[in-house]
Chains A and B, each alone.
Chain A
Amino acid sequence: MNESLDPRVNRLRLNNSDGSFSVEEGENWNVFEVFHQEKRGAHHEHVGCVHAPDANLALIFAKEQFGRRKKCVNLWVVRSADILAFDLEDEDMFANNPDKTYRDASGFKVMDKINKFKAQSK
Chain B
Amino acid sequence: MQIQQALPELLIKIADDELIIGHRNSEWTGLGPVMEEDIAFSSMAQDKIGHAWAIYRILQEHFEGQDPDQFAFMRDAAAYKCCHLVEMPIGAYEFSLMRHFLFDHAETARYQSFSQSSFTPLQQLAGKIKGELKYHTLHADAWILQLCKAGEESRQRMQGALDDCFQLAGGIFEPGKEEALLISENIYPGEQALYQQWLSTISPVIEKAGLIMPQMTAPVYGGRQGQHTQYLQQLLNEMGEVFRLDPEATW
Query: Which of B35, B36, B138, B139 has most chain A Cβ within 10 Å?
Result: B36
B42 closest partner in A (C-beta): A64
B: interface residue count bin: 10 to 19
Are the CB atoms of B142 and A64 closer together than 8 Å? no
On chain A, the residues within 8 Å of B143 by CB distance are: 57
Are the CB atoms of B36 and A50 closer together than 8 Å? yes
Instruction: Work out how many contacts link A and B, with CB atoms closer than 8 A.
Output: 33
Q: Does B34 contact A (CB under 8 A)?
A: yes
Known interface pairs A64-B39, A64-B43, A65-B39; A57-B34 also in contact (CB < 8 Å)? no
Are the CB atoms of B40 and A51 closer together than 8 Å? no
> How many A residues have CB within 8 A of the partner chain?
14
Are the CB atoms of B138 and A68 closer together than 8 Å? no
Chain B at the A interface: mostly helix, strand, loop or mixed?
A: helix
> C-beta contact mask, A24-59 vs B, less than 8 Å → 1, else 0?
000001000000000000000000001111101100
On chain B, the residues within 8 Å of A51 by CB distance are: 34-36
Known interface pairs A53-B146, A54-B146; A60-B34 also in contact (CB < 8 Å)? no
Q: Does A8 contact B (CB under 8 A)?
A: no
B44 closest partner in A (C-beta): A64
B138 closest partner in A (C-beta): A60
> C-beta contact mask, A59-71 vs B, less than 8 Å → 1, else 0?
0110111001000
Task: State the Cβ distance, A33 to closest chain B Cβ, in Å.
Answer: 14
- Scan residues 1-46 of chain B and give those whose CB is less than 8 A from a CB of chain A: 34-37, 39-40, 43
On chain A, the residues within 8 Å of B34 by CB distance are: 29, 51
On chain A, the residues within 8 Å of B135 by CB distance are: 60, 63
Are the CB atoms of B36 and A52 closer together than 8 Å? yes
Are the CB atoms of A64 and B40 closer together than 8 Å? yes
Ordered by A's residue number, 7 sampled pairs between the chains whose C-beta atoms are within 8 Å are: A50-B36, A53-B146, A57-B142, A57-B143, A60-B40, A63-B40, A64-B43
Top-5 shortest CB links A-B? A61-B36, A64-B40, A64-B43, A50-B36, A56-B142
